Structure 1
């Protein structure tokens, strides 16, 4: 029973798609309430996971389990538990939590993650021409955009390098004809639109202008290659500059390289030579990295190492001279392993906001969202500078007119006013940039998005069978838990008479095996010799032994063990003893004083086990009573078809 509750109510964060089912055949009914093949297939597959083989034995076992589950739900409904306010609130709280991200995750996050993962399978090589923005003034931005458009008309793949040297404002790449080299997705934050243009272009194509926070880009895609993945590296660094002679630094790096050739370990040489204080005591360990994280020469040398353990020649970077060791190299990891990192990447990028906005626009169109222009104009006409005050009353003074319609839902001026009140600080912050009507327009757009998403979330059960299945599963799990608590668990814990009667009828089921009475002696300081203590203890009871050695540095502990828990070195025989163990100035040994024969436990000694067994009996009796009360009818033809699937 506990396994079923956990399977049906606790693992709800997992979402398994329903297997396509062309019909809604009824597999069985409980008191006339149908359970379809689709419902059973879903819960069977989810609970059994990889072991859901739809064999006769497996299906029949779980069918019996699920019928019992449905019987308890029927009883819960009969008890009226589905009308209990606390349980309704618990279910609604869960639905809000689940629905809050369900649509966006399904429609936005999952797709963005899959798209990004697909892009990460290849590195793209490109060059670009960058025209920077001199200020945030819209007029300046427009002027730069027009210049970029004009330049784009003149740029070809053949003259790209020349044009980049002439016009690009990227100091890093200008002198190299705008060449950036290979990059991998995702590009740095804010560069999503450039990434999208590059990965969407053909080799040899010029794209742009593309706007990023850096300005406007015109880019040439040279080609692509299978992604390099990541390499795990350790290094030895000898710094240059800051009054360090370059020749002397190189000579020291060569000496370190020679020490490796002569057989010294990389860890020892790093500790002796390396001037990278962060890694020298860790064997020079840097870790895994991909392309475009370090200097190009450093990166090129790292990825050029062809096997684990290979050592590079001395290479130079802007910070000094390096000797590299390849520890390992790995390609792209499976999507599910990468998913958490990719989700974080897309959520912190403009691509997420773009996709979320596109989703809301699509849903608004799909549901038939309509702004009531005349009514909205009347609402805005009543606004003045008090609109920006935190505590202003924005409730409509006259008719509470409809301002927005989403599907079959009408939202009124009072609903918009409540939204404005909830977002008072945001409303107040707009005073520096907007008049009251402009701020209201901006907030109305945000409110519309919120209402469209809320309406979409209200339709989840209709649109997504798996969401409907999850909500049914959680609702029935709550009802089952509460009904079982009232009918079984509470009774087992509170019915002392019934518990005692059950125990009396099953006394022989609760027994202790033979138990060894074990004494543990610890002798400290200048106490008596262990042999003396052991000799006395073998002929006297524990109390007499403790009294005899009182005040002499001898401590005596007692415990009883059944045979399977007996400490090493002891046997189930009186007089059995362990060899003395000396630790930190004390000597410890153990002695079996006597062995008690097997006996039956009293209720107080077995109470936890007895309650659990009593609960199982009560539940069996409960289910039998429910089967007599609520008829269960199986459709044998549908069942046979399910097993054959």
Structure 2
């Protein structure tokens, strides 16, 4: 899904509803006599309660105003004919196809597979296998030969030992004997995984089929997955621009020394960590599982910590240098927290075939399609070897009007299946006898036709789908309107935007800043000593060499331009040139040498441009909404509104 789709979804996500409700035909308001019903407003309002951050939007009158504005914009979009634009219609169809996927599925089977997948990613299996290769579309004779060979090899493995036979028979062409090591769910094709997780430790499975051939496996061990950890870290960026502080490696080693000397990890993280998101929390990160961070060195170090409170030595990742502290270790995240992720993986995995088969069976039952299909002998008789060279054509006397099968009121004809065969001849991978080929292609044809019929009738058969699609329809329309009327104004309104900046300059201020060197130490006496050394014009690097003696780190310097409120500055610090007094800050003592103080001031237009454009768009939209209210007549049914408020009050 591209950025426009995501933005559109976010724009209207507060309007999406999970379950369709019975439509109340009580009119809440009209826009040029077009009615909007109380049922729609209540549904949207109740859904929005869990999503809004602004408490004012929970006020019924305030929310009604927002909702009327939304409907006004849709009215304007349709007046402008945006709903007939070919780009809009194509995007809507693309949305519809995405939406259909979530409805054309068997939820019970999906739920069962999700639970199974969770259990499997919670454990790792250590197994080896022997594979007898055979083509996926091999003849029955070749398939049977491969199966019998696998049976004989398994019998040998039971007598001589699995590993002995595995090493002996491996030739890398027709037979493979491979060491697999530990793996868990989604790492192997589903048929293979299924057998691995259903074979007892120490046992050798019966031969089973995958698209590669016939395998049998020996399971050596099953263990729990590494699970989930919560850690805090202190990070120094890979590229260290602060020359006073030294290299990233030397800086992280200085901080690590301070931890070894007993200084508080969280306080040091607040002072020095360059991961701004976690620094303010003492370095604490959200819990993560293996592979989630795309930083294996970091993950390995985190998972290797044993007890809560353990701290790692400095470790390097592609992001920089880290010191890691273990806060919590869990076997696996809760099942409920992984359902969505697992559903996505299942739909991309071989498991999707299980879901498809269940869906087809369900549709056959719903549309009363018999398991015994139509007589296909005629199609077998008209095929020839031209089919495999992609040159096959229908006989000149072919009668395509004959009925083949009926799906509800839709009659499927001989011609429909014949066209499918003509198209499929370009995709056949292996040569089959014509009876097998026709049976295979008919099953694929029927599955496609059943899904097409279901998809084409979803809006009639499924109220939830109809409602959700309508919300997408309106969302896309609103996106196109806002893009053309408001969001792209910066391309054409440059003069007006600059004029807006000139009349609102006071809104765009630079905060007070200081160009400074900050010294931090756990010892107040050390900080006071550093103040005197700085007064004597000694450089920070010289002071570090003097104070950090005997392999102890007693001071860490940080330099740069700091805004008021920066994590390294004490809240009570007064911005003025010179050397400050010693402040207690984050369980340490700091001293600030201010080289230059930059007072609060106005941002230039270029500095404030993004903010100015955003504010200008907001102002322009507000003016536009007022013009729409003059253009279209709005009438609110006050009696209906009173009933809505009473109903909401009871909830």
What TM-score comes out, normalization by structure 1 length? 0.52
Determine if contact 1:91/1:474 at 8 Å carries over to the other structure: yes
Determine if contact 1:369/1:407 at 8 Å carries over to the other structure: no
1:425 partner SS: coil
What is aligned with 2:97?
Answer: 96
Matches within 5 A, 1:31-46: 35=36, 39-44=40-45
Distance 2:103 2:374 in 1: 35
What is aligned with 1:387?
Answer: 387
Determine if contact 2:14/2:51 at 8 Å carries over to the other structure: no
State the 1:18 CA deviation.
2.1
State the 1:116 CA deviation.
1.6
What is aligned with 2:546?
Answer: none
Distance 2:347 2:149 in 1: 30
Q: 1:399 to 1:342 in 2, by over 3 A?
A: same
Matches within 5 A, 1:224-239: 227=224, 229-230=226-227
- Structure 2 unaligned spans of 5+: 136-141, 167-179, 230-259, 261-295, 313-324, 511-563, 565-576, 579-594, 605-611
Q: Deviations over 1:393-439 (max 9, x none)?
A: 44985433333433333333343344334434213x34x3333x432
What is aligned with 2:443?
Answer: 445
Distance 2:183 2:501 in 1: 74
Distance 1:142 1:496 in 2: 74
State the 1:332 CA deviation.
0.3
Q: 1:630 to 1:307 in 2, by over 3 A?
A: closer
1:171 partner SS: helix
State the 1:333 CA deviation.
1.9
Distance 1:12 1:168 in 2: 66
What is aligned with 2:624?
Answer: 618
Q: 1:629 to 1:422 in 2, by over 3 A?
A: farther
Determine if contact 1:400/1:412 at 8 Å carries over to the other structure: yes
State the 1:122 CA deviation.
6.9
State the 1:13 CA deviation.
8.5
Distance 1:198 1:514 in 2: 67
Distance 1:187 1:643 in 2: 52
Distance 1:44 1:368 in 2: 41
State the 1:620 CA deviation.
1.0
State the 1:75 CA deviation.
4.7
Distance 2:122 2:17 in 1: 27
State the 1:386 CA deviation.
2.4
Q: 1:376 to 1:396 in 2, by over 3 A?
A: farther
Distance 2:144 2:509 in 1: 92
Q: Deviations over 1:490-531 (max 9, x none)?
A: 99998999x89xx9xx99955679999xxxxxxxxxxxxxxx
What is aligned with 2:633?
Answer: 627
Aligned-CA RMSD value: 6.3
Q: Deviations over 1:349-394 (max 9, x none)?
A: 5433223222222222222336996675444443333233335444
Distance 2:302 2:397 in 1: 64
State the 1:446 CA deviation.
1.2
- Structure 1 unaligned spans of 5+: 152-162, 175-179, 233-262, 264-281, 290-301, 312-324, 517-563, 565-577, 580-587, 599-605
Determine if contact 2:367/2:408 at 8 Å carries over to the other structure: yes
Q: Does 1:115 align with 2:112?
A: no
What TM-score comes out, normalization by structure 2 length? 0.51
What is aligned with 1:473?
Answer: 471
State the 1:97 CA deviation.
3.1
Distance 2:54 2:181 in 1: 50
Distance 2:132 2:397 in 1: 47
Q: Which has the larger radius of gyration?
A: 1
Q: 1:343 to 1:496 in 2, by over 3 A?
A: closer
What is aligned with 1:170?
Answer: 162
Structure 1 stretch 369-378 or stretch 380-389: which is displaced more?
A: 369-378
Q: 1:329 to 1:608 in 2, by over 3 A?
A: closer
Distance 2:107 2:15 in 1: 11
